[in-house]
Amino acid sequence: MDGVVITYSSVYGSSRKYAEKLAERLGIPLSEASCADFHDAGLIVHFGGLYAGSLLGLRSVAGRIPEDASLYIVSVGIADPGEERNARAIDDVVWKHIPDGMRDRVRVFHLRGRLDYPAMTVRHRAMMWMLCRWIMHKESRSHEDQMILDTYGSVVDFMDPGSIEPIASAVEAWRQ
């Protein structure tokens, strides 16, 4: 099993766009996670949006990959993973879904996506409003908290196509 499969689970398209970029860059097939066929896959690269403590599609992908296959997980969220606190929080979300016996075959990457309030579902807008209310009542605010408050209601875009390069290099190294 030496095939590579790229999957994504995305609500607003950021994770899908990054997955498409990587698929195009490496000439690898791509599919939405729920329809993916992992039959001959030796490496699965899964891109998923972060939503309040979960990474979309991760549980389903991790539960279906063939024995001995490797899994590269790419989180796409609004928080800056360059801040150690944020990266640690995302890692916690990811690793809790990875069984012990699989951990040495897993790598995790973090990318930044976008928030588009005008395009958001009513439910998601309500969740963001509750998050803002909670931040407003906190005793001290992090840089990230302030960013969420300042940008509430607008479009915030941190998409960076070049940020897939470390993932592309890791896949190329795996293939050799």
Ligand X SMILES: Cc1cc2nc3c(=O)[nH]c(=O)nc-3n(C[C@H](O)[C@H](O)[C@H](O)COP(=O)(O)O)c2cc1C
Q: Which residues bind ligand X (CB under 6 A)?
A: 10-15, 49-52, 76-79, 113-115, 120, 124, 127-128
Instruction: Report CA dihedral (149, 155, 158, 162) to the nearest 10 degrees.
Output: 180
Based on CB atoms, which residue is closest to ligand X, 40 or 160? 160
* Shortest reach from residue 132's CB to ligand X, in Å: 11
Nearest distance from C-beta of residue 20 to ligand X, angstroms: 11
Q: How far is the CB of 114 from ligand X (least distance, A)?
A: 5
Task: Give whichever of 70 and 86 is closer to ligand X, judged by the CB atom.
Answer: 86
3-state helix, strand, coil in the chain (%, to 5): 45, 25, 30
Backbone region of residue 140 per phi and psi (left: phi > 0; alpha: psi in -120 to 50; beta: other values): beta
Residue nearest to ligand X (CB): 113
The least distance separating ligand X from the CB of residue 115, rounded to whole angstroms, comes to 5
Cβ proximity to ligand X, 52 vs 136, nearer residue: 52
Residues 6+ apart with CB under 8 A from 137: none
Are 80 and 144 spatial neighbours (Cβ–Cβ below 8 Å)? yes
